[in-house]
């Protein structure tokens, strides 16, 4: 049970990296009806699951845009393992996430008496990216109190930079992308790990591809945009 919970928490960190940016329309559209499907692969290229995101509601008041995103995660057999709706808003050049809404109430019930706190700062992606550009570090922290056991997990995203531009073809189409590199320093249960990663971003779409590596550079896992509609 604890292993499954940890997998879901790592997935939540992925959600934050998918949705946090400093403008609502440049890289990640906040338009009602937009739907994206991502397929997750292990290091050997075997499908490990499919995650779907859909903007179900948006509204704008003044210079603030609010959106509701529906998330569904299926395992390699197509079985639902995670469903929720979460909120995000964009004002000027700042995106704010409702961290608490990332975790569905039925999951909290499944794990009994559990107190979860998620904090962090936004992952900034400027509108005007350029090759060689350095990006600000980011951080996500989670604290879990469950059945008398406390657990803390922190992920620091450091050494973020724009490496290059390249074209990427996936089952959903061909996209011109910026390639963003970062080193993700994970701290959990007194164990420290470093996982370098690359994200391919396309304007108006968001993440098209992601690869996570071991510290020695070997591929650990990858994610690819396999369906897109608006």
Mean per-residue pLDDT for 23-44?
Answer: 79
Q: What is the DSSP string of 40-74?
A: EEETTS-EEEEEEEEEEEEEEETTEEEEEEEEEEE
What are the tens digits of pLDDT across the range 106-140? 444 444 555 667 777 766 777 778 999 998 888 87
Q: Which of 14-28, 103-117, 196-210 holds the top average pLDDT? A: 196-210
Domain count, the chain: 1
CATH code of the domain in which 185 resides: 2.40.360.20
Mean per-residue pLDDT for 75-101?
Answer: 70
Which residue range(s) make up the domain with 30? Answer: 2-229
Q: Within 10 Å of residue 24's Cβ, how many Cβ atoms?
A: 23
What are the tens digits of pLDDT across the range 148-172? 777 787 878 899 999 999 999 999 9
The answer to whether the Cα torsion of 65, 157, 73, 9 is positive or negative is negative
Q: What is the mean pLDDT of the chain?
A: 77
Lowest mean pLDDT among 89-93, 191-195, 210-214: 89-93
User: Percentage of the chain with pLDDT > 90?
Assistant: 23
Please answer whether residues 180 and 133 qualify as being in contact, where contact means their C-beta atoms are separated by less than 8 angstroms.
Answer: no
d(CA 127, CA 159) in angstroms, rounded, equals 19
């Amino acid at each position: 049970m604890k292993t499954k919970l940890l997998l879901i928490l790592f997935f939540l960190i992925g959600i934050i990296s998918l949705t946090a940016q400093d403008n609502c329309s440049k890289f990640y559209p906040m338009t009602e009806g937009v739907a994206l499907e991502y397929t997750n692969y292990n290091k050997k290229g075997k499908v490990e699951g499919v995650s779907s995101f859909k903007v179900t509601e948006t509204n704008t008041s003044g210079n603030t845009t609010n959106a509701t995103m529906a998330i569904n995660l299926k395992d390699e057999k197509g079985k639902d393992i995670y469903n929720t709706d979460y909120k995000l808003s964009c004002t000027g050049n700042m995106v704010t996430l409702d961290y608490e809404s990332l975790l569905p109430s039925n999951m909290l019930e499944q794990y009994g008496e559990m107190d979860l706190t998620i904090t962090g700062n936004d992952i900034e992606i400027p509108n005007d990216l350029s090759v060689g550009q350095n990006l600000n570090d980011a951080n996500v922290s989670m604290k879990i109190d469950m059945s008398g056991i406390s657990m803390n997990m922190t992920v620091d995203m450091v050494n973020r930079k724009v490496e290059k531009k390249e074209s990427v073809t996936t089952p959903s189409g061909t996209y011109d992308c910026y390639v963003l590199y970062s080193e993700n320093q994970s701290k959990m249960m007194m164990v420290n790990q470093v996982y370098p990663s690359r994200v391919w971003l396309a304007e108006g779409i968001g993440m098209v591809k992601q690869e996570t590596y071991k510290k020695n550079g070997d591929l650990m896992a990858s994610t690819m945009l396999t369906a897109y509609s608006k």
